Amino acid sequence: MLCFVALDSMMKLSLATYSVLEVSWARFFFSTVFALLLAGRQMPQLIIAKQPTLQLFRSFMLCVTTAVFNVGIAVVPLPTGTTIMMLTPLLVTLFSALFLGEHVGWRRFSGIGLGLVGAMIVMRVWELAQGQINQGYVLLFSAAITNAIYQTTTRSLRREDPRTTLIYSALVGAFGTSFLLPLFWIWPTWQGWFLFVGSGLAAGLGHLCLIRAYTAAPAAVIAPFYYTSIIWSALAGYVIWQDLPALTTLFGAALIIGSGLYIIWRERNPKVPDVV
């Protein structure tokens, strides 16, 4: 989670000077370099996927998530953006029920609903009627949806080698953004190169840690650590941009985190009936 917040911070800093396309390209290109170095001599075998269509779709959704997130986070404080993205685990639970046929009882659906209420509070939807709502909130909410689709697809790739999934995640994004890159290219300064390389390294290392974590412990044990990102993002937001989370952000975050932890508890206790 620290790696992912570092990634978000470096992309937000880069977006002050460089285009969304260039920042997204750097994130994927240097993640690809990291993934290929990690694969080493096994790369020819790992590049052959057992489920290529699903791998391509998953990687495309990651590209969309990255692009939409970058546009949104450029105009929204980092802690607020991180809080909205915390909807991802709740939406994954919802999509798993809708598209993968996994059982989700009414109690977990209630938790999802409460988490959505928390997101509405963070986004300050009551300002929508006056036309004052920050469009960055809407983009980040959309990024949470596409990220949940990306995460849900990941559940269907259990037969793949994790390194194969890591390579596809980076390579497809690097390949796709490279076509339009010449139209938006601004030659980076040394600080820009530092942020570009750092974002790719943070992304690759973060995904590697996540994959390793899920192979070492059950998903229900790992999932609560996702919410530590609010701590790292609050620290980064204050140190770099002097941003402090608003009270509405903190209250909404409490609802989202509480809902997520409740759903995780339900998954760890499947014998507890949904109907009492």
Q: What is the pLDDT of residue 276?
A: 37
pLDDT interval class at 155 (50, 70, 90): confident
Q: What is the pLDDT of residue 101?
A: 74
The token pair at 231 is 């701590």
| Overall average pLDDT of the 116-137 stretch | 81
**What are the residue boundaries of the structural domains of the chain, listed by start?**
2-268
User: Would you say residue 36 has pLDDT above 80?
Assistant: yes
Q: What is the pLDDT of residue 218?
A: 65
User: Would you say residue 222 has pLDDT above 80?
Assistant: no
pLDDT single digits (tens) 55-84: 999 999 999 999 999 999 999 999 999 999
Question: What's the pTM?
Answer: 0.87
User: Would you say residue 140 has pLDDT above 90?
Assistant: yes
| Overall average pLDDT of the 248-260 stretch | 91
Most confident of the ranges 4-18, 40-54, 127-141, 206-220? 4-18
76: DSSP letter: S
Cα–Cα distance between 185 and 19 in angstroms, integer? 8
Q: What is the pLDDT of residue 106?
A: 78
Angle at 181 between CA 166 and CA 164, to 5 degrees: 10
Which three-class secondary structure string do you get for 43-72? HHHHCCCCCHHHHHHHHHHHHHHHHHHHHH
User: Would you say residue 30 has pLDDT above 90?
Assistant: yes
Mean pLDDT over the full length of the chain: 88
pLDDT interval class at 197 (50, 70, 90): very high
User: Would you say residue 24 has pLDDT above 50?
Assistant: yes
Burial of 158 per CB tally in 10 Å (0-12, 13-18, 19+): exposed
pLDDT interval class at 271 (50, 70, 90): low
Q: What is the pLDDT of residue 275?
A: 44
- The SS3 call for residue 240 is helix
User: Would you say residue 38 has pLDDT above 60?
Assistant: yes
User: Would you say residue 274 has pLDDT above 70?
Assistant: no
User: Would you say residue 199 has pLDDT above 90?
Assistant: yes
How does 120-147 read in b/e, with b if 16+ C-beta sit within 10 Å?
bbbbbeeeeeeeeebebbbbbbbbbbbb
Most confident of the ranges 15-29, 31-45, 200-214? 15-29
User: Would you say residue 254 has pLDDT above 50?
Assistant: yes
